[in-house]
Amino acid sequence: MRVLLTGGAGFIGSHIADQLAGQGHDVVVLDAYLPQAHRTRPDGVHDVTDLDTVKALLDGVDVVCHQAAVVGHGLDPSDAPLYARNNDLGTAVLLAAMHEKKVKHLVMASSMVVYGEGRYECAEHGLTRAAPRRQADIDRGRYEPPCPHCGEPLEPRLVPEDAPLDPRSTYAASKLAQEHYAAAWARQTGGDVWALRYHNVYGPRMPKNTPYAGVASLFRSALERGEAPTVLEDGRQRRDFVHVTDVARANVLAIHQPGTPGTLTALNICSGEPHTVGDLATHLAEACGGPRPRVVGGARSADVRHVVADPARARDLLGFRAETSFAAGVKQFATDPLR
């Protein structure tokens, strides 16, 4: 099988490339080597916004695995053009090229950030949608989203793929836009799309010392400097941490499994075992032999409290189950090479 892999030199993309090559597939890598994820940039590289380059690389391709994107929380709204160009325009150019070259099968990286806050339940009012948290509440150390009906704290539940979508950051808005572009392409061409909504991915080759990296990398970078990891809020915010080798394997499974023609199918790619951000910081500090985390309160403007994933659909449709446990993965991550 011949696979065009965008972002194939990056954190997740490089692991996908390794697994595909290990199975004997022909992998064509396109990567812009953006400074947000790479320390060096080779001469003569092209990115996914170059239509002529993408069309040329699609010759003989059976499936596209689209990982190219600027990721992470970023700095502030001044990042919007960066996300829009690389994530949204890049996806639009890729889809146009796939239409011209009649490539029908797409696997693309999406993200849990499209959900905004996760799913919640009120003891009195049942499942309910959490409103954005108020800065005044965060300043007082009240971090749990309140029920919009009675004001009592909500209890987090597993987030399924049909949950309401509510992006809270520029990055999140760009990921949802990618899904919408791909869904429109599928309807118009009869192609099929797997949109893999990654949860908190960590593991070897994460970029370090950059605001575009994930929280695991930020903690590890601090520990390498001999500093305590800085944990916002009270450290009890829940996430689903999933190892990069599992994420890469989910992509390989999706590459081999065509979806429903004319349809985008979203899948949570997660471990199904939520842990708190404080758990991650504590376990990583212990594994690195570094100082204990500092819990400092506060929150960034686009932060959400809990996103806890439901892994059932990926298991049912792709046969995907995460294999690396949190304990084993974090222990490995203490010495994994970063970029």
Place of tokens 């929150």: 299
Q: List residues bridging with 97 in a β-sheet.
A: none
Helix axis angle, 326-333 relative to 277-288, nearest 10°? 50
Chain mean pLDDT for the chain: 93
pTM assigned to the model: 0.95
Q: What is the pLDDT of residues 75-118, one digit of tens each?
A: 778 889 999 999 999 999 999 999 999 999 999 999 999 999 98
Q: How far apart are CA 58 and CA 94, in angstroms?
A: 10
Stronger pLDDT, 211 or 114, i.e. the higher one? 114
Quick check: 307 and 237 in contact, CB under 8 A?
Answer: no
CA 175, CA 311: separation in Å to the nearest integer?
Answer: 20
More confident residue, 68 or 212: 68
Identity of the amino acid at 91: T
pLDDT tier at 42, thresholds 50, 70, 90: confident
Is residue 39 pLDDT above 70, yes or no? no
Alpha-helical regions (H) of 89-234: 90-101, 135-139, 170-189, 215-224
Cα gap 173→165, rounded to integer Å:
10
